[in-house]
A and B are shown apart, each in its own frame.
Chain A
């Protein structure tokens, strides 16, 4: 498989999956990351932050300033006049800035996935100009004057279940008009996740970066009224950690890696001894926030844990029990370090217990907890379907990888529905959990039987953008 993947697209044997379409592309956009790759592969070849850089450049010949977008994590480093933006909407996890979205997607689907293709000259020249200031990745402009870049690649995109009709039409329009895709399809992320778990009916709990959703799927169809969405996800958890750090004694100083020039190891709790790096320009707050978020991600991965239950963490006795257990040490970039013991359970408890959520400076700490979402979701579906859904709970999304998450979820479900058969299905591989929807889309798009499903260019030309609402139900 690996050998086949490295072949340029044009030479790749087309008959690997019994004549299935292997040149199809799959794109899965989320608030934190955007994933793109070839259908039929196990993991997305390109995973980039949905955050991108916007560089202010003044034209030498005039007083006007222009902004240039740059994409990819490797170009998000400290630089002058540099803002970090995101093209998705944080509260909805749907596209907000279509211009940036199109550019980022083009960057991934064209420059990253198909570097071997004959690039139109215009790209080369802008690439050269980019290298001059140490920039490998540049936004591509004027692609349209060339031959349409994806004329040979059907495109499958995933979307949030609450995505608007307008947004879907916009997506097919970009794929067909800008990129010249021969075929297009849109599928909803929870359906992909359920299918990838081998289930046509399931209760899908997707704990992502900006949002967590709970959706009931019956026979491969989303039950629209059951969709629940809440801010409780990775970023919400980050906010909780910040509050905890602020209230810590001493207050934790959040200094991201890029600001540290060197550091000396210090004992736990001792003040940091580090020299800060100086930059001859101002670091924007958006860039700093992005870097702090990366630090928080590390903390989440290595320290934070979910109280496994049974019962809530704040129930009497639990905290005392945890205090007797070994904690975990986390060292900040500046060398300051501390042992975290009961606090590491405390920060994630708000996902389950509304009263445990730490106050949030934004004032939106009150978010629907996961048990509440499940309850609301089940209440919106037919009573007869509920046992089947509880027996087929699919857990996906990167934030569900928190230690202890599944145990707690199982305990909460059992407490909510005593006597019912409850079965969780969560992929063991972290990649399958992080890229669950992408992988589902990848398999779907690679199936020979899927051929008849694609919305073809001809259909699009006959019916216009409205076709996507009619076909992708």
Chain B
């Protein structure tokens, strides 16, 4: 958990990263950083979420949920300059197993509470939900240009 907070602070204060993807450790006991990256391309980030996996009890690999934080940057349509909004994404694909979905959904609050400075929270369940334009529209409340 400490690792998650410090990575988040690096993103928030030092602007070291563009996004961080968190996951549950294999024993489902704690939340760990899966990846922290400065990659600016949303599509790369989106594909990472879509291809995320989780292991079922029997050891089979299925689609897996993740938590992510993305430092969203957009220009206002009114021309008043750039805005940044740190967006928390609870990614839980509908075709993931019940078990991982349940674990991620019920553990989300813990992580969210320890990350201070989240501007927007998003619950996403299929690849359409995390299209750049869709997210931009909701995060900016329609003000992006």
Contact = CB atoms under 8 A, between A and B. Distances in A.
Nearest to A425: B94
B29 A198 contact: no
B91 to A, nearest CB: 9
Contacts of A18: 26-29
A8 interface: no
A1 B58 contact: yes
B115 interface: no
A200 B98 contact: no
B121 to A, nearest CB: 9
Given A1-B58, A201-B123, A425-B125, A449 B28 contact: yes
Interface residues of B, number: 29
A200 B57 contact: no
Contacts of A443: 98-99, 102-103
B23 interface: no
Contacts of A219: 108-109
A25 interface: no
Nearest to B31: A449
A195 B57 contact: no
A18 B27 CA distance: 5
B124 to A, nearest CB: 10
B104 interface: yes
Which of the listed residues B58, B103, B104, B107 has the most CB atoms from chain A within 10 Å of its own CB? B103
Contacts of B103: 443, 447, 449
B106 interface: yes
A198 B104 contact: yes
B126 to A, nearest CB: 8
B101 A196 contact: yes
B11 interface: no
B109 A448 contact: no
B98 to A, nearest CB: 5
B87 interface: no
B123 A199 contact: yes
A17 B100 CA distance: 12
B101 A195 contact: yes
A17 B98 CA distance: 15
B105 A194 contact: yes
Nearest to A221: B109
A42 B97 CA distance: 11
Interface string A417-452: 000000101010000100000011001100111100
Contacts of B123: 199-201, 388, 392
Given A198-B65, A198-B101, A201-B123, A449 B107 contact: yes
B109 A16 contact: no
Given A1-B57, A18-B27, A196 B98 contact: yes
B92 A198 contact: yes
Contacts of A201: 123
Which of the listed residues B90, B92, B105 has the most CB atoms from chain A within 10 Å of its own CB? B105
A17 B28 contact: yes
B102 A195 contact: yes
Interface string B85-97: 0000010111010
Interface string A4-25: 0000000000001111100000
Interface in A8-55: 16-20, 40, 42
Contact of A200 (B90, B94, B100): B90
A448 B106 contact: no
Contacts of B129: 391
Given A16-B57, A447-B106, A199 B29 contact: no
Contacts of A195: 101-102, 105-106
A391 B106 CA distance: 19
A455 interface: no
A314 B58 CA distance: 49
Nearest to A384: B141
A314 B136 CA distance: 42
A130 interface: no
Given A17-B57, A18-B28, A195-B101, A423 B90 contact: no
Nearest to B105: A195
Contact of B102 (A1, A198, A388, A423): A198
Contacts of A196: 98, 101-102, 105
Contact of B98 (A423, A432, A447, A450): A432
A358 B94 CA distance: 38
Interface of B: 26-29, 57-58, 65, 90, 92-94, 96, 98-110, 123, 125-126, 129
Given A196-B102, A200-B108, A443-B103, 20 more contacts: A1-B57, A195-B102, A195-B105, A196-B98, A196-B101, A198-B92, A198-B96, A200-B90, A200-B123, A220-B108, A388-B123, A392-B125, A423-B125, A443-B102, A447-B106, A447-B107, A449-B29, A449-B103, A449-B107, A450-B106
Interface of A: 1, 16-20, 40, 42, 194-201, 219-220, 388, 391-392, 423, 425, 427, 432, 439-440, 443-444, 447-450
